[in-house]
Amino acid sequence: MPEKLESQFTHSELISLRRRLNHWFRKHGRQLPWRETRDPYLIWISEIMLQQTTVKAVVPYFERFINRFPTAHELAAASEEEVLQYWEGLGYYSRGRNIRKTAILIRDQYDGVFPKSLIELQKLPGIGRYTAGAIRSFAFDLPAPIVEANTLRLYCRLLNFEGDPRSRDGENLLWTLAEELQPKSKAGQVNQALMELGSQVCTPVEPKCETCSISMYCHAFECGTQNEIPLKKVRPKVTQVVEATVAVHHQGEYLVRQRQPEERWAGMWDFVRFPIKSVTFKDKITKARQSQLQSEIQNVLTEEYHLSIESLQVVTEIKHSVTRYRIRLLCCEAELNSKMNSVEIENTQWLTLAELENLPMPITGRQFSQELART
């Protein structure tokens, strides 16, 4: 166990901080669908959706999702494919798969009742220390420290912590402050207030210190270091890659395959997709390049899918990022060789564009199928 540190706040300062936070939150806290409830299921869904995604983007997804799956029972009874379909567009699809697994455990091992204990909560797939604290404090109003992106920044500034907040000592110090800030009762509101103030006032760039209701306790503000704190994450170097996604067409239907467990976007359906060597990130698609591309794509289709194509055209391009990769995705449409029948290939099916609308697809696959529908 790492040694427990102490933050710099006295008992009476912590009481005053909590009071000020609660007062500010009652006046300025945003009304959000998941703040109107104490249902741990709804709070949990919102917290998982909010990971890596903004509040504004989450609201419509959240409403649509809970309309279809209003309780853990409905979610546990749904297929993974359907859950992924409702998760489509939110990204980080392992979250969608994990919530279904957790809903099944809640139904089968917890009699449909969410546990209150941090230890029990953290045994559930996809629930880490922060999410467990959010469920326990927001749903049950029980003390539970929380540190996520907004509170991490806020705590670093309150403490004027110049070290790395992601180091062992940094984490230990921030979680200690988070624990010290917990009241014996109404922990939910204090935690909501901390997150909200972190998000709305103690912003990453140009924090609004002049109007901040806890500035008198902020050591970074006192030292004028709020713009340098917290220490920035070292971003990994971005690698550029080129991939092709090929919509193989045959008599009004397209070949799509389900992505396998070891692949990114596992469980979702997509046109066949693979890395390309004959085109670089900056190359123009000239006639000569198009012909090299077609021959490279034909080779992959023959080797991996035993398919032969007649013609190929680049319909559109999509640039997007996945972790440290910047991807130039060449979206190609190819006509199956007329001498071939629509062969059966493992994990694939031939579907019309209208039928594709009912399957979960990664964002790029969906954009491409919509583009095909327009052309």
Active site residues: 47
Check binding of 193 to ligand SF4 (CB under 6 A). Answer: no
Binding ligand SF4 (rule: CB under 6 A), the pick from 142, 218, 244, 256 is 218
> Which range touches ligand SF4 (CB under 6 A), out of 150-158, 256-264, 275-283, 366-374?
150-158
Here the tokens at position 40 are: 């741990």
| DSSP symbol at 12 | H
CB 41 within 8 A of CB 72: yes
Nearer to ligand SF4 among residue 224 and residue 261 (C-beta): 224
Burial class (CB in 10 A: 0-12, 13-18, 19+), 211: exposed
Check binding of 21 to ligand SF4 (CB under 6 A). Answer: no
Nearer to ligand SF4 among residue 4 and residue 208 (C-beta): 208
Check binding of 65 to ligand SF4 (CB under 6 A). Answer: no
Contacts of 137 (CB under 8 A, 6+ apart): 143, 144, 146, 182, 187, 188, 190, 191
Nearer to ligand SF4 among residue 193 and residue 202 (C-beta): 202
Report phi then psi at 8, rounded to 5. Answer: -95, 10
Distance CA 46, CA 179 (A): 23
User: How large is the C-alpha radius of gyration of the chain?
Assistant: 25
Binding ligand SF4 (rule: CB under 6 A), the pick from 215, 294, 298, 364 is 215
Binding ligand SF4 (rule: CB under 6 A), the pick from 49, 132, 152, 212 is 212
Return the closest-CA partner of residue 199 out of 211, 190, 207, 187.
207
CB 93 within 8 A of CB 267: yes
Check binding of 25 to ligand SF4 (CB under 6 A). Answer: no
Check binding of 18 to ligand SF4 (CB under 6 A). Answer: no
Check binding of 208 to ligand SF4 (CB under 6 A). Answer: yes
Check binding of 23 to ligand SF4 (CB under 6 A). Answer: no
Check binding of 170 to ligand SF4 (CB under 6 A). Answer: no
CB 3 within 8 A of CB 172: yes
Question: Residue 35 is which amino acid?
Answer: R
Binding ligand SF4 (rule: CB under 6 A), the pick from 66, 173, 195, 202 is 202
Check binding of 220 to ligand SF4 (CB under 6 A). Answer: yes
CB of 5 to ligand SF4, least distance (A): 20
Check binding of 207 to ligand SF4 (CB under 6 A). Answer: yes
> Which range touches ligand SF4 (CB under 6 A), out of 14-22, 122-130, 206-214, 280-288?
206-214
Here the tokens at position 368 are: 């491409």
Give whole-number Cα distances, 65 to 55, 77, 83, 275, 360, in Å: 15, 14, 9, 34, 14
CB of 208 to ligand SF4, least distance (A): 6
Here the tokens at position 73 are: 């029972």
Number of residues near ligand SF4 (by CB under 6 A): 15
> Which range touches ligand SF4 (CB under 6 A), out of 25-33, 208-216, 299-307, 329-337?
208-216
Nearer to ligand SF4 among residue 24 and residue 138 (C-beta): 24
Binding ligand SF4 (rule: CB under 6 A), the pick from 157, 249, 257, 328 is 157
Check binding of 190 to ligand SF4 (CB under 6 A). Answer: no
Give whole-number Cα distances, 354 to 343, 351, 361, 373, in Å: 21, 8, 13, 9
Binding ligand SF4 (rule: CB under 6 A), the pick from 34, 44, 155, 221 is 221
3-state secondary structure of 101: helix
Check binding of 195 to ligand SF4 (CB under 6 A). Answer: no
Distance CA 231, CA 238 (A): 20
Check binding of 201 to ligand SF4 (CB under 6 A). Answer: yes
Nearer to ligand SF4 among residue 65 and residue 221 (C-beta): 221
Which residues face 247 on adjacent strands? 333
DSSP-assigned letters across all residues of 223-268: HT-TTT-SPPPPPPPPEEEEEEEEEEEETTEEEEEEPPTTSTTTT-
Q: Which helix (H) or strand (E) holds 82?
A: helix 80-87
Nearer to ligand SF4 among residue 230 and residue 365 (C-beta): 230
Interacting residue ranges for ligand SF4, rule: CB under 6 A = 154, 157-158, 201-202, 207-209, 212, 214-215, 218, 220-221, 226
